[in-house]
Structure 1
Amino acid sequence: MQPTGELRGDAVRVGGDARQRFYDSRGYGRPLSGNEIALSRIEAAHLLFRGDLSGVVLEDGGAAIGFERFFVASAAAAERFAVRYLVYADLRDRGFYLSPTRDRWPGGDDAAADAVDFVVYERGSTPDTGDVRYPVQVVGERQTVPAAGLAGRTLAVVDEESDLTYFAATQPDVSGGTDYTPPTGLAGALLEDRVVVWDAPDALYDRGFYGRPLTGRAAEVEGALQLSLVEAASLAADGALSLSRTVGRRRDDGDDGDRGTESAGDTSRTADDTNRTADDASRAAAAVIDRGRAVEGDRFDRRLAVYRRLRNRRVVPKTGFKFGADFRTYLDVDTVDDLPHSEHLVRVVEPDHTFEPRELSLDVRLAGGVRKEMVFAMADAADGSGDGDDAGGVEWLSVSRLTP
């Protein structure tokens, strides 16, 4: 004869030999006094579904009810009960012991984060040991998920057909071994949405993988390199790049003399006229950043902060447009002629970004399909021209598919 439980508040209490039958042997519930245990609604529903409980008596008394009525009543009383139950049952079917995180899990020393629904123990571990393998956060496909705080959790997404997809969220160490320092004294012409350096040294592209050469069949121009605005802004912030300046001549009405004019960013001026000073580089950085903001708003500052952080970590970021991301990264570039495959796709988001599970799944699936790791860089809109590895305040989050 299977035991019957009694619902008290949010827990189902089971007496008799419940501790030996359910907790000690299979990790269900929390032990109370004697042999009594307290089951969460989800644990009780799973035992009802398996036929290990004969029924549950509700708080208002009456006859014990079976799985169907208890499931419907619990779905009405407990938030996200249906999707959480599906994940719990799936992980149990995979052979894991797991516990709801409410009021600390059995054997756990610390309370889990509010968003965590279950802790899944290492195979062979029991709730008493507290050896946690997966802290699981459960969401439906139409819920949003804050990016902040997600690192270290396993995200279990339940779609509209009750299929489950698991994602591992970690804090990656995005650092590389590219050994290249750009030269100073570069001069560029600021165009509408890029900068051209007409006499760029070969190593700037070949070794540093900056920009893209302006080449073509039967081209007579050599050394021309097109830089993106983030590349140019970063080089200028490092004091390596200024914008072309020249002295023009004009005659004002009623004035027989010539008057010189100067303006940073005039594309008609050449590198020979460039004043390579720190002030020029500072003005160049400001001009390029202003142009970037005009092109894409404060998103430019976030992308620049991430770009500079990656370069400071000896990682080479290049555009990730073909993959629907902000950057793709190369950790160890020796020469462009011997270029390795890129390792990451980086999407730049705001610190308070929330994921739509469908879009997250698309990003992760695409990255996995091209053998790259999907990384999200949470960056504020602070001026990305600042110095140091902490410029811009960037936090990193890696998300990948997981099969528990």
Structure 2
Amino acid sequence: MTPEGTLRGDAVHVGGDARQRFHDSRGYGRPVEGNEIALTRIEAAHLLFRGDLSAVVVDGDALEFEAFFVRAAAASTRFTVRFLVYSDLRDRGFYLSPAREGWPGGRHAAADAVDFVVYERGSDPEDGAVAHHVRVVGERETIAAADVAGQTLAVVDEESDLTYFGATTPELDGATPYQPPAGLAGVLLADRVVVWDAPPDLYQHGFYGQPLSGRDSDLGGALQLSLLEAAALADAGALALTETVDAAAATVDDDAETPASDATDDYAAIVARGRAVEGERFDRRLRTYEDLRGRDLVPKTGFKFGADFRTYRDVETVEDLPHSEHLVRVVQADHTFEPRELSLDVRLAGGVRKRMLFALVEGDGNGVRGGDGAADEIEYVEIGRLTP
């Protein structure tokens, strides 16, 4: 005989042999008294959908799946998307528990935003071997970037299709411990710096800049540096400016706040130029660039991929350049993702055989250099497509 449940408060209670039938054998609900168990509305709806419950009694009415589903969806705007994810993971062979106090999943929830705790195949809620902390997200919701590390995002689109993303804190250890030579001399132009007689190693082994000379040029050592590269080299004491083109030649953002700089400080002059041509984003990107270099990674522009940087772990020579591993987008620490934006970034990175990395920069952007204040903190989050 197929049992029925009764809604009491926010849980559906099922008696009889429910503990053995549903909890002990298949990981549904939580034990209450004797053989009785309590189910969340999601769990009860899934058992109704499968035909394992005959009905759920609500206010004296015995509701079958359709009526109970509509009633539950009316009580919670997120019921439908959560039910779709719960059912999909059950169909994939996982046991999972709601991440709420009093239920088995409540012991393992990584954050308040987590909806379900999913156990490794072959494990049940009693074993506690967790495979995923799942956060259910509708296509039109937003996701705080600072909250996602350690979570599996289950995005439900407008046609009820599911896409899973895994968010992790990566190990960023490079293998390019290049030390730039001292004594570099450059000219600050509108939005870049040219070093006329750069030593070959700066580009060939450090992968700084881009050669200016062509095949028929006599300027074999001329190297163009981005403002980020030039600022980092000046900060390290390796680069000095011999000439500065009037800042009026740069494209100035009138709305950007450009703090006054000491004209004798080459680093300050380059940073001021970066702020003038790029605005407040320059400081966050420079902080990230220097941090990645400090980890012995080589960041280069990610413009062709719609990102801030692409990174190389181990550069021995540009002639034998390895494949870049990450695309990096630099965002503020309080950035929120839209699922469509996130899907686009991750899909593009995967399409070019790279992993998508987000640098979350905490701070006001003025603490780039140690002497200018406390350095801004950076949290890295790597997000990729996932098949549970």
Residue 292 of structure 1: aligned partner:
274
* 8 Å CA contact retained: 1:230, 1:307: yes
Residue 187 of structure 2: aligned partner:
189
* 8 Å CA contact retained: 2:82, 2:136: yes
Q: 2:301 aligns with which of 299, 303, 319?
A: 319
| Alignment map for 1:4-403 (pairs within 5 Å) | 4-58=4-58, 61-106=59-104, 109-245=107-243, 283-380=265-362, 381-386=365-370, 391-403=375-387
* 8 Å CA contact retained: 1:188, 1:198: yes
SS in structure 1 of the partner of residue 265 of structure 2: helix
* 8 Å CA contact retained: 1:304, 1:385: no
CA apart distance, 1:184: 1.2
CA apart distance, 1:204: 0.6
CA apart distance, 1:218: 2.0
Which amino acid counterpart does residue 44 of structure 2 have in structure 1?
A: A
Tell me the distance in 2 between the aligned counterparts of 1:18 and 1:384: 61
Tell me the distance in 2 between the aligned counterparts of 1:282 and 1:152: 46
With over 3 angstroms needed to count, the CA separation of the structure-2 counterparts of 1:112 and 1:186, relative to structure 1, is closer
Residue 275 of structure 1: aligned partner:
none
* 8 Å CA contact retained: 2:247, 2:273: no
Which amino acid counterpart does residue 125 of structure 1 have in structure 2?
A: S
With over 3 angstroms needed to count, the CA separation of the structure-2 counterparts of 1:112 and 1:375, relative to structure 1, is closer
CA apart distance, 1:216: 1.7
Tell me the distance in 2 between the aligned counterparts of 1:108 and 1:129: 14
CA apart distance, 1:242: 1.2
Deviations 1:94-150 (A, max 9, x none): 000000011154276455411000000011111111111100000011111111121
Which amino acid counterpart does residue 300 of structure 2 have in structure 1?
A: K
* 8 Å CA contact retained: 2:98, 2:106: no
Q: What is the count of residue pairs matched by the alignment?
A: 373
Tell me the distance in 1 between the aligned counterparts of 2:161 and 2:188: 51
Tell me the distance in 2 between the aligned counterparts of 1:88 and 1:217: 61
* 8 Å CA contact retained: 1:236, 1:282: no
TM-score, length-scaled by structure 1: 0.88
With over 3 angstroms needed to count, the CA separation of the structure-2 counterparts of 1:351 and 1:131, relative to structure 1, is same
Which amino acid counterpart does residue 345 of structure 1 have in structure 2?
A: L
Residue 2 of structure 2: aligned partner:
2
CA apart distance, 1:178: 0.4
Tell me the distance in 2 between the aligned counterparts of 1:152 and 1:282: 46
Tell me the distance in 1 between the aligned counterparts of 2:82 and 2:92: 15
Which amino acid counterpart does residue 170 of structure 1 have in structure 2?
A: T
* 8 Å CA contact retained: 2:99, 2:105: no
* 8 Å CA contact retained: 1:190, 1:265: no
Which amino acid counterpart does residue 320 of structure 1 have in structure 2?
A: G
CA apart distance, 1:221: 2.1
* 8 Å CA contact retained: 1:292, 1:300: yes
Root mean square deviation, CA, Å: 2.1
Tell me the distance in 1 between the aligned counterparts of 2:178 and 2:263: 20
CA apart distance, 1:392: 2.6
Tell me the distance in 2 between the aligned counterparts of 1:107 and 1:139: 18
Residue 253 of structure 1: aligned partner:
none
CA apart distance, 1:63: 2.5
Tell me the distance in 1 between the aligned counterparts of 2:86 and 2:248: 64
**Residue segments in structure 2 that go unaligned for 5+ positions in a row:** 250-260
* 8 Å CA contact retained: 1:237, 1:281: no
* 8 Å CA contact retained: 1:196, 1:227: yes
CA apart distance, 1:280: 9.7
Tell me the distance in 1 between the aligned counterparts of 2:223 and 2:376: 27
Residue 256 of structure 2: aligned partner:
none
With over 3 angstroms needed to count, the CA separation of the structure-2 counterparts of 1:20 and 1:34, relative to structure 1, is same
Q: Which moved more, 1:282-291 or 1:36-45?
A: 282-291
Deviations 1:3-55 (A, max 9, x none): 11111121101111110110001000011111110000000000000111110
Which amino acid counterpart does residue 53 of structure 2 have in structure 1?
A: L
Residue 257 of structure 1: aligned partner:
none
TM-score, length-scaled by structure 2: 0.92
Tell me the distance in 1 between the aligned counterparts of 2:188 and 2:102: 59
CA apart distance, 1:340: 0.5
Larger radius of gyration: 1
Tell me the distance in 1 between the aligned counterparts of 2:279 and 2:183: 29
- Percent identity, aligned pairs only, is 69
**Residue segments in structure 1 that go unaligned for 5+ positions in a row:** 247-262, 268-278
Tell me the distance in 2 between the aligned counterparts of 1:179 and 1:377: 21
Which amino acid counterpart does residue 396 of structure 1 have in structure 2?
A: Y
Tell me the distance in 1 between the aligned counterparts of 2:314 and 2:105: 44
